Amino acid sequence: MSHASYELKAETRERVGKGSSRELRRNGLIPAVIYGDKQAPISIALSTKEVTQKIHAGGFMTTVATIDVGGEKIRVLPKDYQLDPVRDFTMHVDFLRVSANSQVTVEVPVHFINEDKSAIKTGAVLNIVRHEVELHVSANDIPEFITVDLTGLKVGDGVHISNVKLPKGATPAITDRDFTIATIVAPAGGVSEEEEAASE
């Protein structure tokens, strides 16, 4: 279900700071940090090209990776990255160290299915409130996406998190309310009476 794991080779960074970051980038590397799991953070350098490819391939933030730091293999989950706004290359990545039983919080994309079996077929509009949902999951079972089935939904109906079948072991990060993922709304021009009669 989730993206295939991958491995990145990294070197540790002795010097940290603006000057050394610039120097790294000149050499085709980007600074990154591995933190978490109650251990001291490690500053590393990764191949800019490899990381940028992984980000563009999709699923970067929901795929556990292995980083080989001088022979030590560390399982991580990307937590944050910065892109250069002008040249669209990766500037920095934060990785969270994970073990098999780590609980992590990730933003998982929502996929909608069976639009043609709902009022959308007759011109209603799917108003997506959340394109992704933040979930607490085990690092070993991060879903690639969650699926929302729109079958039978009429204008005015909404899909709440309680309507969605979440993968085993996944719980929503927002627990204090049954939040809305999407609603079915009438088209801007309204639905004519004939169409209304046809969809009865």
Give the dihedral sign, CA 74/109/166/5: negative
Q: Is residue 109 a contact partner of residue 142, using CB atoms and an 8 Å limit?
A: no
Instruction: Please tell me whether residues 164 and 114 are part of one structural domain.
Output: yes
The pLDDT of residue 66 is 96
Domain end (from 67, 99, 131): 99
Contact present, 114 and 151 (Cβ < 8 Å): yes
Residues 11 and 54 in one domain: yes
Exposure pattern of 174-185 as b/e (b: 16+ CB <10 Å)?
eeeeeeebbbbe
Q: Are residues 108 and 94 in the same domain?
A: no
Are 16 and 95 found together in one domain? yes
Q: CATH number of the domain that 63 lies in?
A: 2.40.240.10
Judged by DSSP in three states, 193 sits in: helix
Residue 37 covered by a domain: yes
The widest CA-to-CA distance across the chain, in whole angstroms, is 73
Q: What is the pLDDT of residue 196?
A: 52
Q: Which residues contact 123 (CB under 8 A, 6 or more apart)?
A: 187, 191, 195
**Which residue, 40, 75, 99, sits at the end of a domain?**
99
Rounded CA separation 97/35 (Å):
6
pLDDT at 124: 95
- Structural domain range at position 179: 104-198
Question: Quick check: is 62 in a domain?
Answer: yes
Alpha helices in the chain (DSSP H): 18-26, 48-57, 193-198
Residue 13: per-residue pLDDT: 86
On the 0-12 / 13-18 / 19+ scale of CB atoms within 10 A, 135 is buried
**Domain identity same for 31 and 89:** yes
Residue 137 half-sphere exposure toward CB, CA atoms < 13 A: 23
Nearest in space to 94 (alpha carbons), one of 47, 43, 50, 139: 43
Q: What is the pLDDT along the chain (200 residues), one digit of tens a residue?
A: 456 789 999 999 877 676 788 888 889 999 999 999 888 999 999 999 999 899 888 889 999 999 999 899 999 999 999 888 887 778 899 999 998 788 999 999 999 999 999 999 999 999 999 999 999 999 888 998 999 999 999 999 999 999 999 988 899 999 999 999 999 999 877 555 555 555 54
Q: Is the Cβ–Cβ distance between 13 and 24 less than 8 Å?
A: yes
